[in-house]
Amino acid sequence: MGYLLEILYDVLFHPVAAMDNIASRRLVGKGLIVFIISILLPSWAMWFGLKAAGIGQAVNVIVIMHMIGSLLLWFFGAALLHLIAEFFGGRGTAMGLFAALGFAQFPRVFMVPLWVVAAVLPEGIRPVIMGISALVILFWVLALHVAALKGAYGMGGIKATLVLIMPFLVLTLFTVAMVTFVSVQFMQWPQWS
């Protein structure tokens, strides 16, 4: 357990070196433990929050779907990022990246104490603080994803960032192309002429 805590310390304060170590040693088991804790604690807090809001039985389904969706996204995201990183000339393994991306989720555990602090603030400022804390955690996790790509594939920060945003760029371009295509086809119907 002490070794895992040392790795988590390094992930928080020396992310590139930690991700390089995690990827080279392929710490998939420890990555799975960290990933589950990083998903379970915020999900548990969300469960209590939604129960207190009176949502009822839908809470259980929401939390379970969140956890399953997160696991699937981790698995398929690592595979896709590995493929893109290899296209960009990175030299690493999918298992190494998979382990590193599991550790990259660790800052999500800090959402629980931040939201507890926000819960005791006045109602007018509460949503703002919760939103800002969620954005900070999101950018921290994304920065750790870049560090994971850098450490796992030995690439620079710009190339690692490009690998990370490439799926979003492709999805955006595909969406724009489809909307344009459908709009052009719709405007060519006889009723619009």
Contact 131, 125 (CB under 8 A): no
Mean pLDDT by 10 residues, the chain (193 residues): 84 92 92 92 75 68 85 94 93 93 94 82 83 91 95 92 94 92 78 56
Contact by Cβ (8 Å): 150, 157: yes
First to last CA, the chain: 71
Displacement of CA 138 from its chain's centroid (Å): 7
What pLDDT is stored for residue 117 in this prediction?
83
Local structure of 55: helix, strand or coil: coil
What is the SS3 assignment for 28?
A: helix
Q: What angle do the packed helices 15-25 and 2-13 form, to 10 degrees?
A: 130
Cβ atoms within 10 Å of 163's Cβ, excluding its own: 25
Which pLDDT value is given to residue 82? 95
